[in-house]
């Protein structure tokens, strides 16, 4: 076979001779100097290796060209300039994500990365910068008052309790002067504030939550000690549980002769609200709202729960908040009650709330006193809307009038387009709702409605028996009667489905369900209902996965092959090795990689399906070639068992 001098090979490949010598040494070939000779087969191997390296270098170069490196966190203005976009366009895109940004302040790292990904760029930060930026954001967060909603059965004393709490905030001489102008107010206890929302009931509470308004931090459940748990009490419990907020139980009317606190505790324990003295986690407070007994203890318990929750909010920058109610005032025009969520809301701020926009002309507190600014968790009446915003709408302050107008107009256009196309929320099917969480557990949120209580209990028991270690069924609500709009809003807020047995779905409610993207399943035969639930659960169950160790190999030599990368020369010390198996790589006592698939398995030059104990083989892995002599490769497979 013809031999060619290395300096001639270098000329042919277009690289220096010393690089040729280095490549030959990496391949295990002997090459002393540029006058040494190599054969044609080796030159072909060098050409392939050189081509592979150039391809790799090109990929690295392209990646660098599409990577943004930041020494400091950019502002919105800097990002717009970097992407060659108008600032307004970037702000509009952030508004679609319900994110408000100050032109002069650094953007959150996650926002920068998301904006970059949309443009096909990757982001690299100076070492430690990302962590520093996130910590700086946390330093701007300070404690805020808790926001509390009071719920319960009709005539159990919610209004009386609200009045008692409201009167506790002012001196006796001022009682007659209180004018409740908005559906929320604040109470101060020992220098700390609590915000109360005066909602019509649990339906309004859930309707706001369905629109994304996660306003409430703590829920107060009022139960009359002389009446006990009633249907609306149970409904309120289910709505609050679905919201996943702490519950404090107020046993009201303890002054009544028929009051029985132990009976109330027993009834609520049956609903999953177990008192602390019984080993549970629910706080129970006995109160007489009429005689104003126990009010101070209740307020202290709310503050204690708030401390446990460690509620914080940003106190700087543009404000955000939630609209909890709105009305048309003859003198002021459109007016809305807003709970400030983040930042400080000030008079003269430009804002956008859904499709409405405006400038804060004036702010009034819960005693109808004009104020200049409102802090997080503070309820305020805002004057200056272009039109009435819906309850549950997020309010965001923006820097300029033009921006507020542009966001509002863009949202109006999107609403018109969706209306013309008949687009609402996409309806999620039963199968889609059975999706696993981060732990792999699947949850199904069900809302049950039936014609009679007996049927309801039978269906609940039958469905509950279908759940297992992999699937958990949560009953959001169980009730008798036709499906209502409130049922749909609860299912929407909790990402659940409605199952009805021998009940009706009125046309107007069906339209709401379509708009909210809620699946409603109606049945006449109980066996069909149970069978459908069972099939859905079994169909979505993933087979049980079991790891089976096949064998172990010891890396004894390394071979660098063009295209294939590094191949490990191994000796099978235990069991057998199968092509396509997974590999766990041990280096000493440490696992450096796992779940790496065997890409190639050879005996000498032949591809084989398996290699038994006591034989040598060559192993190539997918996406890994950083072997070291002495590494132990543990081969295993994942088998599925039902």
Model confidence at 419, pLDDT cuts 50, 70, 90, reads low
pTM reported for the whole predicted model: 0.62
CA angle 201, 167, 327 (to 5 degrees): 45
pLDDT digits (tens, 9 = 90+) for 475-532: 888 888 899 888 888 888 788 889 999 888 887 888 888 888 888 888 888 888 888 8
For 301-314, write each residue's pLDDT tens digit. Answer: 999 999 999 999 98
Fold of 319-400: Elongation Factor Tu (Ef-tu); domain 3 (2.40.30)
Tens of pLDDT, residue by residue over 306-341, are: 999 999 998 888 899 999 888 888 888 899 999 999
Structure tokens at 487: 């049922």
Q: State which of 156-165, 280-289, 441-450 shows the largest mean pLDDT.
A: 280-289
Q: Could you check whether 147-313 and 430-540 share the same CATH topology?
A: yes
**Rounded to an integer, what distance in angstroms lies between the CA atom of residue 345 and that of residue 316?**
10
Domain covering 544-641 assigned CATH 2.40.30.10 in the classification: yes
Summarised one tens digit per residue, pLDDT across range 186-236 is 888 888 999 998 765 666 666 666 555 678 899 899 999 988 888 778 878
Instruction: Give the pair of three-digit tokens for residue 525.
Output: 């035969």
521 touches 430 (CB < 8 A): yes
Which homologous superfamily does the CATH classification assign to the domain defined by 147-313? P-loop containing nucleotide triphosphate hydrolases (3.40.50.300)
124 near 70, Cβ under 8 Å?
Answer: yes
The yes-or-no verdict on residue 600 having pLDDT over 70 is: yes
Buried b (16+ CB within 10 A) or exposed e, 237-256: bbbbbbbebbbbbbbbbbee
> For 327, phi and psi rounded to 5 degrees?
-155, 160
% helix / strand / coil in the chain, to the nearest 5?
A: 35, 35, 30
Give residues with Cβ within 8 angstroms of 447, minimum separation 6. 475, 476, 477, 478, 487, 490, 491, 496, 497, 498, 499
pLDDT digits (tens, 9 = 90+) for 385-416: 999 988 888 899 988 898 889 888 888 887 77
Is pLDDT of 179 > 70?
Answer: no
Strands (E), 365-470: 370-371, 373-374, 379-385, 394-398, 442-450
Per-residue model confidence (pLDDT) at position 34: 60
- Quick check: helix, strand or coil at residue 281? coil
Contact 309, 374 (CB under 8 A): no
Task: Please state the rounded mean pLDDT for residues 356-363.
Answer: 94
Could you state, in order of their start, the residue ranges of all structural domains in the chain?
3-65, 67-139, 147-313, 319-400, 430-540, 544-641
Strand segments (E) across 330-437: 333-342, 345-346, 350-353, 356-364, 370-371, 373-374, 379-385, 394-398
How many Cα neighbours within 13 Å face the side chain of 276? 8
Q: What is the pLDDT of residue 182?
A: 56
Question: Thinking of the domain 430-540, which architecture would CATH place it in?
Answer: 3-Layer(aba) Sandwich (3.40)
> Tens of pLDDT along 521-561?
888 888 888 888 887 776 644 444 667 788 999 999 998 88
The pLDDT tens digits of the residues spanning 136-155 come to 777 778 999 999 988 887 77
Tokens for 146, please give them. Answer: 């808790």
Q: Does domain 3-65 have CATH number 1.10.10.2480?
A: yes
The DSSP symbol for 411 reads: H
């Amino acid at each position: 076979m013809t031999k060619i001098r290395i300096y001639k090979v270098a000329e042919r490949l277009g690289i220096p001779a010393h690089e040729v010598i280095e490549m030959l040494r990496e391949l295990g070939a002997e090459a002393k100097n540029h006058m040494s000779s190599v054969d044609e087969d080796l030159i072909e191997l060098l050409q392939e290796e050189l081509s592979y390296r150039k391809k790799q270098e090109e990929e690295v170069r392209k990646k660098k060209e599409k990577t943004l490196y930041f020494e400091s966190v950019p502002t919105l203005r800097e990002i717009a300039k970097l992407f060659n976009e108008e600032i307004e366009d970037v702000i509009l895109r952030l508004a679609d994500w319900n994110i408000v940004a100050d032109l002069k302040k650094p953007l959150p790292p996650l926002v920068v990365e998301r904006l970059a990904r949309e443009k096909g760029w990757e982001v690299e930060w100076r070492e430690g910068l990302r962590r520093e930026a996130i910590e700086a954001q946390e330093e701007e967060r300070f404690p805020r008052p808790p926001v509390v909603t009071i719920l319960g059965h009709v005539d159990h004393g919610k209004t009386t309790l609200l009045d008692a709490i409201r009167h506790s905030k002012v001196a006796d001489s001022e009682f007659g002067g209180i004018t409740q102008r908005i559906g929320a107010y604040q109470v101060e206890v020992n220098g700390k504030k609590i915000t109360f929302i005066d909602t019509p009931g649990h339906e309004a509470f859930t309707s706001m939550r369905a629109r994304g308004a996660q306003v409430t931090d703590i829920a107060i459940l009022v139960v009359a000690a002389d009446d006990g748990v009633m249907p609306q009490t149970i409904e309120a419990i289910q709505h609050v549980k679905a919201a996943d907020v702490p519950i404090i139980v107020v046993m009201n009317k303890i002054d009544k002769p028929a009051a029985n606190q132990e009976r109330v505790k027993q009834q609520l324990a049956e609903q999953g609200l177990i008192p602390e003295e019984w080993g549970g986690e629910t706080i129970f407070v006995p109160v007489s709202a009429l005689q104003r007994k126990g009010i101070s203890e209740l307020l202290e318990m709310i503050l204690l729960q708030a401390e446990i929750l460690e509620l914080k909010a940003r106190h700087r920058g543009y404000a955000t908040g939630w609209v909890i109610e709105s009305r048309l005032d003859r003198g002021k025009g459109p007016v809305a009650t807003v709970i400030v969520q983040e930042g400080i809301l000030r008079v003269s701020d430009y804002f956008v709330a859904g499709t409405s926009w405006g400038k804060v002309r004036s702010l009034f507190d819960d005693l109808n006193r004009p104020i200049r600014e409102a802090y997080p968790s503070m309820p305020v009446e805002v004057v200056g809307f272009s039109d009435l915003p819906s309850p549950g709408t997020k309010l965001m302050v923006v820097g300029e009038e033009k921006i507020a107008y542009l966001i509002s107009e863009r949202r109006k256009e999107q609403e018109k387009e969706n209306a013309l196309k008949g687009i609402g929320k996409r309806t999620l099917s039963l199968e889609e709702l059975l999706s696993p969480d981060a732990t792999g557990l699947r949850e199904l949120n069900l809302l049950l409605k039936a014609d009679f209580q007996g049927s309801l209990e039978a269906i609940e028991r039958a469905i509950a028996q279908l759940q297992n270690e992999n699937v958990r069924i949560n009953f959001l609500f169980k009730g008798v009667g036709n499906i209502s709009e409130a049922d749909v809003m609860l299912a929407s807020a909790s990402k659940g489905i409605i199952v009805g047995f021998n009940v009706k779905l009125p046309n107007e409610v069906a339209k709401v369900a379509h708009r909210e993207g809620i699946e409603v399943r109606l049945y006449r035969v109980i066996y069909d209902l149970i069978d459908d639930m069972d099939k859905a659960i079994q169909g979505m169950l993933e087979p049980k996965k079991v790891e089976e160790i096949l064998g172990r190999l010891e890396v004894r030599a390394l071979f660098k092959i063009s295209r294939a990368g590094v191949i490990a020369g191994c000796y099978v010390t235990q069991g057998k090795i199968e092509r396509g198996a997974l590999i766990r790589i041990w280096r000493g006592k440490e696992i450096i990689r796992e779940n790496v698939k065997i890409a190639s398995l050879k005996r000498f030059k032949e591809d084989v399906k398996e290699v038994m104990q006591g034989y040598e083989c060559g192993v190539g892995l997918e996406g890994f070639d950083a072997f070291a002599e002495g590494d132990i490769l543990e081969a295993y497979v994942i088998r599925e068992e039902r």
